[in-house]
Structure 1
Amino acid sequence: MSNELAHDFSPLLKVYKDGRVERLRGTDTVPPSLDHDTGVHSKDVVISPETGVSARLYVPNPTTNPPQKLPLLVYFHGGGFLIESAFSPTYHNHLNALAAQANVVVLSVDYRLAPEHPLPAAYDDSWSALRWVASGDSDEWLSSLADRRRVYLTGDSAGANIAHYVALKVGVEGGSGFGGGGVELRGIVMVHPYFIGGVPIGSNADGVDFGPYVEGLWRFAFPGTTGTDDPRINPGKDPGLGRLGCGRVMVCVAEKDVLKGNGWHYGDVLRKSGWGGVVEVVETKGEDHVFHLFNPGTENAAELMNTLCRFFNANQDV
């Protein structure tokens, strides 16, 4: 076993010259459960036996009789397309809390990771997950408890990037009720989205330029990319941006996040794209990238959670 490094993307992962991949974080998992703090039930479901793509489903009060249909939130985890999973304790705890406070059903997608499965695998898996939802009879909990006319997409970092991609594909594929499945995408929330190429990537508190690192992650995860002009990482370069398949978008950014500028830029280019919806950019002062996942007990994390809940529960007429 060689210890010679081919790529060092600390603190996320290292890749050795013999092909070995060492993930430095995001490898812990927890089983589905009944969460006693929130009352949320969860279980794991298989989306594609062929690819092994699965998801964790969270439902508040699944035994309600008669069942009350709730908005469905499809969640895509972060990790630069390289680390983390839908089954990590970080996301399990976050989504238990989100399902309970927003009173929504959550489907957290466990897409395949690069470099073993280079992009666009994660995009394809995530699109397959939404089509699985649209199939109607994909799962008993979904069919009885989730309202497919009130679907939202969200994610953090790379997962926010995926949420944008899937929402755009909904618009391209026919918008509301795409694929004959009756799914209506009401909106998307992108938390600290992983976009580059719109404005320069910022520096951290120590003055370190993170631009080369962030761009290097993207090129490593997606060897077939055209670079920073690729519309999947730089939506401002997408001539079809105005076809985004929902009417409401929220972008959440953090003041100290090196990716903050591209979150604001996304809002600007979306408004100018000819898209007919409403986009809002919300900034949390004094915080860094995905702070709410690592420090969920803070006042700022609670305020961000409240902001998400308000978005998912606004205008929920049926």
Structure 2
Amino acid sequence: MRRRTGAVPVGELRLSLRAAEAPQHQRCSVVVEEIEGLLRVYKDGHVERFPVVPEVPCTWLPELEVISGDVVIDPSTRVWARLYAPIAPPRGKLPALVYFHGGGFCVGSAAWRCYHEFLAKVASRAGCLIMSVNYRLSPENPLPAAFDDGIAAVKWIRQQAIHGQERIRWWWSRCDFARVFLGGDSAGATITHNVSLQIGSRLRGVVLIQPFFGGEARTSSESMAVPPGSALNLAASDAYWRLSLPPGESREHPWCNPLAGGAAARLARLMLPPYLVCIAETDILRDRDMDFCRAMKRAGNTVEAVMHAGVGHAFQVLNSSRVSQSRAQEMISQLRSFLRR
């Protein structure tokens, strides 16, 4: 049976999800899953992704005070990362932020222009090094593949502390390897949290921006109408989880719902680093993200929750309105303060 999910109303977003056309798959005409304007999955396993966001090379830099370069993390999986560093000479070593992009685990790239622009700004204005990971996507690589890529990224950065690659000396030679942070937005934030559950004690801190959590029971914010400027609706959220979770798993899997079953109790048994959780007021994920913060605090973890008023999901990368840009600047300032701990 074909599942078709409507495109999200984009309002003032920088892109139109209906603007791009994916090439028609010729081998099999049976579509089993579709998120309109984003991707189409065929019965034979072929996946078409619509080019809704332009990709840019690392040499394209909107921030003149930043240098960027691409590097392969794991040749066996072809996972790579885009590195960013401020050009200005630092006062000592800089913290490093290992970052994972959003896209419901199914779309997105470290080369997407919106992420390239945003992370270049973060590197410049927050004064940090960034490693933006281009992890493997679902459904071709269902979870936990993206989590495994997150672990590989942290291992890679640790290897640079011992024997850095000469061609990226400009990056690792300025890194304070005692201050490595993990961060991401949407599905990237979910990757971040699950990696933190495994190696949290080795991290200085964790940044979750509108983390993409789910569950079978609906929350109040999931039931509300999606406002213009928010890049996620409930139907798309459900579709992403269907495509990303292993076969037969429900949205009560701990990878999806971090508070399901005994997962919440586990938070109290782990040595997790401090968390900064950024929540968007008109995001359908708002209630889940707030519940997560409350559960983390009850478990004795250090959590700083920040609510960004009047904006929706992924506003910092996909919305160019004046309000969104103002909130994005607030977010970068909050990141700067958190990364200085």
> For the superposition of Structure 1 and Structure 2, which TM-score range results when normalised by the shorter chain?
0.7 to 0.9
Q: Which shows bigger deviation, 285-294 or 20-29? A: 20-29
Q: How far does residue 299 in structure 1 lie from its aligned partner after superposition?
A: 3.8
Q: 1:202 aligns with which of 223, 245, 257?
A: 223
Q: Hey, what's the Cα distance between the residues in 1 that align with 2:195 and 2:46?
A: 31
8 Å CA contact 2:95–2:339 kept in 1: the answer is: no
Q: Are 1:234 and 2:234 an aligned pair?
A: no
- Tell me what 1:57 maps to: 83
- Tell me what 2:109 maps to: 85
Q: Which shows bigger deviation, 113-122 or 96-105? A: 113-122
1:186/1:271 Cα in 2 relative to 1: closer, same or farther (>3 Å)? same
The one-letter code of the counterpart of 2:180 is V
The one-letter code of the counterpart of 2:331 is T
1:315/1:104 Cα in 2 relative to 1: closer, same or farther (>3 Å)? closer
Consecutive unaligned residues in structure 1, runs of 5 or more? 177-184
Q: How far does residue 213 in structure 1 lie from its aligned partner after superposition?
A: 4.1
Q: Are 1:256 and 2:282 an aligned pair?
A: yes
- Tell me what 1:216 maps to: 239
Q: Are 1:41 and 2:67 an aligned pair?
A: yes
8 Å CA contact 2:259–2:292 kept in 1: the answer is: yes
State, as a whole percentage, how many aligned pairs show the same letter. Answer: 36
Q: 1:305 aligns with which of 318, 329, 332?
A: 329
Q: Hey, what's the Cα distance between the residues in 2 that align with 1:95 and 1:133?
A: 18
Q: Which shows bigger deviation, 122-131 or 133-142? A: 133-142
The CA deviation string for residues 122-169 of structure 1, in whole angstroms up to 9 with x for no partner, is 110111101111122244234311111112111110001111111111
SS in 2 for 1:257: coil
The one-letter code of the counterpart of 1:91 is Y
The one-letter code of the counterpart of 2:204 is R
The one-letter code of the counterpart of 1:203 is M
Q: State the TM-score, normalized to the length of structure 2.
A: 0.80
**After superposition, where does 1:178-189 map in structure 2 within 5 Å?**
185-189=203-207
Aligned residues: 301
8 Å CA contact 1:26–1:85 kept in 2: the answer is: no
Q: Hey, what's the Cα distance between the residues in 2 that align with 1:301 and 1:225?
A: 41
Q: Hey, what's the Cα distance between the residues in 1 that align with 2:187 and 2:176?
A: 26
Q: How far does residue 37 in structure 1 lie from its aligned partner after superposition?
A: 3.5
SS in 1 for 2:307: strand
8 Å CA contact 1:3–1:16 kept in 2: the answer is: yes
1:306/1:38 Cα in 2 relative to 1: closer, same or farther (>3 Å)? farther
SS in 1 for 2:240: helix
1:79/1:36 Cα in 2 relative to 1: closer, same or farther (>3 Å)? closer
- Tell me what 1:76 maps to: 100
The CA deviation string for residues 98-127 of structure 1, in whole angstroms up to 9 with x for no partner, is 110101000000001111212111110111
- Tell me what 1:181 maps to: none
8 Å CA contact 1:10–1:24 kept in 2: the answer is: no
Q: State the TM-score, normalized to the length of structure 1.
A: 0.85
- Tell me what 1:112 maps to: 136
1:211/1:306 Cα in 2 relative to 1: closer, same or farther (>3 Å)? closer
Q: Are 1:191 and 2:214 an aligned pair?
A: no
Q: Hey, what's the Cα distance between the residues in 1 that align with 2:57 and 2:137?
A: 20
Q: How far does residue 26 in structure 1 lie from its aligned partner after superposition?
A: 5.0
SS in 2 for 1:113: coil
8 Å CA contact 1:154–1:160 kept in 2: the answer is: yes
Q: Hey, what's the Cα distance between the residues in 2 that align with 1:211 and 1:297?
A: 23
8 Å CA contact 2:100–2:133 kept in 1: the answer is: yes
Q: How far does residue 17 in structure 1 lie from its aligned partner after superposition?
A: 2.8
Q: Are 1:144 and 2:173 an aligned pair?
A: yes
Structure with higher RCO (Cα < 8 A, 6+ apart): 2
1:224/1:147 Cα in 2 relative to 1: closer, same or farther (>3 Å)? farther
